[in-house]
Structure formats: C-alpha cells, structure tokens
Structure 1
Amino acid sequence: MAQLGIESVLVAGRGPAACAVMSACARLGVKSVAVHSEAERSALHVRLADDAVLLGPAPASESYLAVDRIVEAARRSGVSAVLPVPPALAGNARLAAAVLAAGLTWVGPDADVLERLGGDGVEPASERGLLAWVTADGLRFPTFVSRDRAAGIARVSWTPGDGDPAELPRSAKRLVDVGWRGLVTVGVSPDGELAEVAAGFSLDMAVLERAHGVDAVELALRSAGGPAAVAAAPAGPAARAAVAVQLRSTLPPGTAGRVTGRLPVGRSGGPGAEVVSVRGYEPGDRLDGWYDALLATVSAAGPDIASAARAASDVLSALPDTGVPHDGADVCAVLGRLAAGRAVPTA
C-alpha cells in the first residue's frame, strides 16, 4: 500500500500473534509471507499468508529463531521488508543488522539502538508497564498497563485506574532521544523508571490497540515506511479502558494435542464494548509440543475497565470444548475481579 511505503513483508513469527499480523496485512493491502518449521507446514499462520517459506526442522533454534535462515527466506521470497513479531526476534540486534545488510527494510528499531538500549527480547512481566508508538516527535498513544503475573506470565493486562500516574516516566523520553522508532513495551519499576524494554508485538500490545482504536501493524509499518508514512497516521479516537488476555493450553510441556472445538475469533461486543479475538488454531489443527502453548488472545475496550473485563469474560465463558485443556477458568477469575472492581493479586 503506497501510503505505508511498504508493499510486502516476511512475517517472522508464529501462533496467534503472527495470525493477527497476517490478517492486518490483508486489510492493509500488504503482501504477507509466512515462515514455518517442518512441524508447522500447515499451521494457521501459514494458511492465512499469501505465501510461505520453510525455515528448517522443528526446534525453534533451527527454524523460528535462526537468524541466517530468516534472512535467507526473506531473500528467496522477494519481499521488501522483514517484520519480526515476538520480542525475541524484534529485539535481536543481529537479526536487524543482517536484514539491513541484505538490502531489506527492517520493521523495528535500528540494530544500534537495540544494542544501546538493550531490547531485552523477552515479554516484559513487571506488574506495571507502558506501551507506545515511538516517533521522532515523541511517544504517541502512550498506554499504561497493569499485569496479572500468575505463574510468571502476564496472562491478563489492563489499563489501570485513576490512581495511576498521568505523566510518562522521565526516562521514557530517552526512547526518542536514542532513536527508538516503532512499537515499544516496557516494564515500569516501583520508582517509576523503565525496567524491561521490548520491541515487536508483545502480548500487551492489544491493550494499546483497543484503548486507542488503532492497528499496531499499521503503526509498525508506517515507522519503517519513513517520515511521510508516519505523518499520515490517523490520530485515533479518544482513549478508552481496555483489557487483553491470553488463553493458554495447560498440556504438560512437550505434550502434543489436537484442537477439536472452535476457539474465539473475530470482532464482537455489546453496547459500548468492542472485543477482538485472535486464534492460533482451528478445529483439526495439531497443537505441537515444540512451541509456546498460546491458543488465542482476546482483547476488549469499553467506557470503564469493568465493562471491558465483562466483555472479554463473556467470550471466554462461551467457549465450547476445545479438545485441549486450557486456563480459561483462571483467566475468567481474574476478569471477574476486575469487573467487580476488586484488586487483582499480581504475584
């Protein structure tokens, strides 16, 4: 699409997050090329893409996280850009440098910025965080989040209430000063400083999308497309309360399964609420024991956090038997406390 400055991308990632990127590319008129391992030749993110390239064997170190293979796949596919999805790839300075050396566009912060600021390559899990789109003019769509950290995973994230700071941490300005451009997810320490810093599409990023009514994929592509593409970005509506949750399989690590029921997908919601669900599997798909157990994500926006939490809970509560065990009941319990206005334990 001309106004984005990028017409085709290799999407480096898998699972529900990659599925969301493929769907966004289709809406934006950008050709998407998926990558996959031998174990996921027919995975949903592959089926949603316009084209696909095999990276290698099932182990992630030999496929999804293999820098040289990702760059070679981008060369072979003829795309103009590489869009890394998870922080593990988006924060990889070596991958960023290799993509640029191959004459391709890197959709994310420059390699030297990742080196200096320490793109951590992990999902920030601090109890408090900040999401934003960083441009040369400052942080746009800044969104504070609180996180439920059960089992060490921020499986529920939401916009906090009135008691949280209205001003950005002073250290957040450093992101602009050092040249960070694109999406950022950070952890905020108890003293208000930035802790973890992550590029790419963190699991929290849906909170920013719902809160501000914007498309994170579009924002990332605009950053890579240049100043004109950034300047043409929509302003977005007034911010609303938002929540995002992750539905995960509880199969033992390394155990495979098969999805037999329909996972949540698409847009829904009642009066004043908007819900967006993204699934990583369809009925009949194999859940391979090699990778992350994330089944689907559900994010919702509403006039207040209680409304958003209820809307997300309604979607998860209506799930049929999926064929694999999951943590939906635990997630709904967290959403129930948010809907009732009760504090959520974070450890």
Structure 2
Amino acid sequence: MELDPQSPEVHNLLGYTAALSGDSEEALEHYRQAIALDETYLEAMLNAAEVLMHPLGEWDEAIELCDDALDYAETKEEIADCLLLRVDALLGKGDVEEAKKCMSRLPEPPFETSSYVFLIGRAFYELGESEKALPYIEEAVRTDPEHADAHYYLGLLKDDSGDVRAAVEAFLRSRALDLAKPPPAWAPSPDTFAQIVRRVVQSLDALLARWVRDADIYIVDVPGAELVVDGVDPRAMVIVDARLPDEPDGEDLGRNALSARLFIYQRNVERAAGSIAGLESELAGALEREVTAVFLDRDKPPSMADKHHLN
C-alpha cells in the first residue's frame, strides 16, 4: 500500500488476502475500495459478490454486483463468471425460477478452462436438473481426477439415480481428496474448536438441548470411510448417534434413559463456514438440524432435500 495507496489492484489483492484469512468484512472493504477507484474492475466486483454470498448471506447486494459486472464482461468466461455467481446468489435467496432463467443465458461451451464445466454441472444439480448436470460433472471428473467437489457431486448424482456402488466410490474419492488438502489458514486449533463446540451445545434452544446436553462429544476431521460406505455424507458436519428411550413421546427422560454421542467433523464445518467468524453459526445450524431430524422428526420420511443437505 505504501507504493500506491490509490491502486485498485492493490486493494483487490488485499481483499483476497483478507478473505483467505477469514476476515470477510475487511475483504469486502478492500474490494469496495478497488471498485470505487475503478468502476469497471470486473474481478473486484465478482470477488466482492462472493464474499457477500459466503459467508455474509447478503444475496440481493451480491446479485446487484453481478448485474453491474455483466455490463463490463466481454469474454465468454467473464460472462459465465457473472451469471454463475448470480445463479448462486439467486439460489441462496430461494429464487429458483429466476436462477433457471439466468442459466439459460450462459454462453455455449467450450471455455478456455475446464473449471466452468464443473461449475455449470453443479449449478444444474442445485437447480434440481440432474439429467443436465450429469454430463458436465462426469466431464469434470474425467478432465481433473483430483477435483474433490466434482467427485462429491458425482456421488450425489449416482446416489439419486440409485447406483449405490458408484456413489460410494465417488464419495470415498471425494473424502480422500478433501483430507489431502491443508486446512484453511484461519482454521482454529483442535482445542479452540472444542471450545467453540461446547459453546454451541450450551447455547442450543432448551427444546433441543435436552437431547444432547449430556452427550459424549467426539471431534474428528471428517466421517470415517466405513461410515461413508454405510451411507453417511462424507461432508456431514454433525452426526448424533443415540439410543432412544422406550417412551414413544420421549417424556420424563431420566439421565440414564437416553444414551447419545455427538460427532462433530471439524474440516467439514470449516468448509461450510468459510471463515472463523462463521464457525459458530454454521455449527449451530447443523446441530439444530441434526437433533431435530434424529429426535423430533424421526417418524417422518426423509425428503430429498434432507438427504443431500450438507447437514
């Protein structure tokens, strides 16, 4: 910054560095400064839109930035970047129909880099259009066998189609590739993460906390391979393993009436949170969903959304 405090490129770089370290607010401030210095700075607009979506959840502002960026996009790749981010933001706010319309505006392949093949396939999957997604995801796996996300989405697609063996193989490959990556630079130590877990459990709503307040808690990186083979999502954040009491309504539970174990998967929580600031809220949401599914909604058949939700 000492060299050129008015350089939009410097602010964009500082924003990128801040985002990598998990400081979303500082990253966004630098990106906005870069855009103020150069209103045509496409990369800074898209970087800011990404931070606004994840982890900040400011969907409408992200959509506006994508629309602004589209005015300056020239190449097929730049147009695809803008539209795919816009689709993500629309899905984040629940506007599926508008997201589908946005997908129809994508340029036709080929693109200069293969990463767009995966991104398009993933977008089609998230829109519920599995048949359109499959060839893109299969091509992404073929062109980049080390692409963990591509293997994961291939597992989802194979599972949806009933090909359990192929799904398990894809999930196991995704799990192995996830473990081969270093944790994010901002990731807390195991002891610090354990403190976060305890705070989240203690702050649960009383209706949910009664089921897990005395649970044994185990923290590991990701679900074991044997669990994945048995059908557990390799990117699950939380699993509750419980022996339920005999009472059908679960009333009048004594200390020994319920035996519960709580498994927390640190690397998966970090992936979903995207920053140190987002860890507690992401973990709290995952824990609430899992406790609700195991204890309160256990008699309801799982929906497709529940089946593949990343906890």
TM (norm. structure 2) is: 0.29
- Higher share of residues assigned helix: 2
TM (norm. structure 1) is: 0.27
The one of the two structures with greater contact order (alpha-carbon pairs below 8 A, sep at least 6) is 1
- Higher share of residues assigned strand: 1
Mark the structure with the bigger radius of gyration: 2
